Amino acid sequence: MIPVDAQTMFEVAPRFSGSLAEKQRAIVTEVGAVLAPTLARYGIDTRLRIAHFLAQTCHESAGFRTTEEFASGDRYEGRQDLGNTQPGDGRRYKGRGLLQLTGRANYRDLGTRLGIDLEGDPEAAAEPVLSLTIACEFWKKNKVNAACDLDDVVRVTRIVNGGTNGLADRRELTARAKAAIARLEGIRILGEDPPSQGRPVLRRGSRGDAVVELQRLLQKLGFMVAVDADFGPGTEVAVAAFQRGQKLDVDGIVGQKTWVALDAALKKRK
């Protein structure tokens, strides 16, 4: 089981301030505490499956800061395709949860699957922990894992969204999720120190200040890489070439052994 948790969710999501940050923190804290075992129970247990799940739920919940649709739900009033047959159903069964469960029929169906009366108590779908389970149940019902295994962001998005709304953001979030999970796997598999005790494990898809530091080190060592904070294919090729020259495992992953070798190589050049 990959030990994804609240910290992983924070690494994927955009950061907010003030009341928005408080809302995000409350949701992430609750969901993060049960994230890994819940995902594992639903077979969302590989790097790709977890990455796509985190990306899609992050986008649908506006960066993990809400489990209820911002709009009133009036636009769903009278939607027969959603099972909204009674006056007020639009608002009553508006989008809730990490994947925005919408419509009386869907509340009834997911509630039946979980043995919960969501049709009678639709607001319960907004509770963070339950919203995670509902999202996983949707994932299972719609066989989203198959699209994840193909790493097909477009197909996953179509299943979740019904179209490709927000595709660019979903693609970006998927890349961030992959990087966060890769860090966890790097620590677990390679036995490396966590980021708080040393530099983070970096690999293709990683972004941020640590990547900038890596790219500058590579440049100083004579490698032609751009300093753009994005661990793309060019950076990966340079890392692999450096590792080969240092007789390290050539995997394109910058763990603690590679960081140490980079520092040592730079000192020799001075």
**Residues 133-142 pLDDT 10s:** 999 999 999 9
Averaged pLDDT for residues 29-33:
94
129 and 222, same domain (yes or no): no
- The pLDDT score that the predictor gives to residue 256 is 84
CA distances from 13 to 22, 27, 236 (A): 14, 12, 24
Give the end of a domain, one of 183, 202, 221: 183
Q: Domain holding 264: CATH number?
A: 1.10.101.10
Give the end of a domain, one of 153, 183, 213: 183
Q: Domain holding 144: CATH number?
A: 1.10.530.10
Averaged pLDDT for residues 155-166:
94
122 and 165, same domain (yes or no): yes
Mean pLDDT of all residues belonging to the chain: 91
CA distances from 108 to 47, 68, 122, 124 (A): 31, 17, 9, 13
Instruction: List pLDDT tens digits, range 189-244.
Output: 444 344 434 588 898 888 888 899 999 999 999 999 999 889 998 999 999 999 99
Q: 202: which strand partners? A: 254
- The pLDDT score that the predictor gives to residue 67 is 95
Q: Does residue 184 have a pLDDT over 80? A: no
